Amino acid sequence: MLLLFLLSASLGLTSVTAADEGCIPRNSASFGFRLVVNVTDPSKDLSPSINGLFLHLAHIGPAQNRAYAAATPGPIFYQNGTSNTPSLTNLLTDGGSPPFPEGMSYQQEQTDANGAGIYVNAGSGAQATKLTRLSAPYSYLTILAEVTGSAFIGCTATIPYYGNSTYFPVINWVMTTRNATGTHLVIPEGCVPINLVPQCAALEALPPDARSSHEFAQEVRCYDNVGGIDWSRYQY
């Protein structure tokens, strides 16, 4: 399992290079990727476990989707932006026919303790939603990376569109702190801290009538098989 990703900052880790063989999981590069859940504190994992599941989308309205964890492969995302405007980078996928952009965003839930729900809706989504820089030891999704003390979490909850008796392992984003020893994140009861790790996937060419554009899709660091990585081999 991955150690908690915020520990890298507190320990003052320096940039890891290709010369540091064996220090980081072997990665590839792709313009497209799926997001895979990696539980960072197994003691708080949900039941059944969500480790190794994909970020999937539950339809909740026209071009509106709530993010949750599922075993079947989720949508293919791409990181949209330019090197000149990193703060404007966002995470998109293509939906509908003809394809149109759907962007990842976050919205505060009614219960503040469970943080902001992750959504993928029509439009450009939230800015500053992107994968970690190459200076980080491994690749995972961040929102407002310059804001310390934030984390993705998985929580068992209902999605109003599907009624009050159907529960989903929904994916949220929350501002948090660490416990007294600094080893674990303090997160809402019944939730588990997670990272969303990119698994390489082909970004298919768009049809001529597409409303989406891949002109500014960035090639990113990703992994061929996230579920096959033995994270216990790597220390951060």
Predicted confidence (pLDDT) per residue in 87-123, tens digit: 689 999 999 999 999 999 998 866 556 889 999 999 9
Give me the residues of the chain with pLDDT under 70, please: 1-22, 86-87, 109-113, 146-148, 182-183, 235-236
Contact 122, 63 (CB under 8 A): yes
Distances (CA, A) of 215 to 44, 75, 110: 41, 19, 37
Largest CA distance in the chain: 56
Q: What is the DSSP letter of 162?
A: G
**Cα separation, 167 vs 157, whole angstroms:** 5
Distances (CA, A) of 121 to 33, 50, 108: 18, 23, 15
Fold of 7-13+30-224: Trefoil (Acidic Fibroblast Growth Factor, subunit A) (2.80.10)
Contact 23, 137 (CB under 8 A): yes
Pairing of strands 150-158, 100-108: unpaired
**Would you list the domain boundaries of the chain?**
7-13+30-224
Could you give phi then psi for residue 10, rounded to 5 degrees? -70, -25
Predicted confidence (pLDDT) per residue in 120-137, tens digit: 999 999 988 999 988 888
pLDDT of residue 8: 37
Residue type, 182: G
pLDDT of residue 110: 65
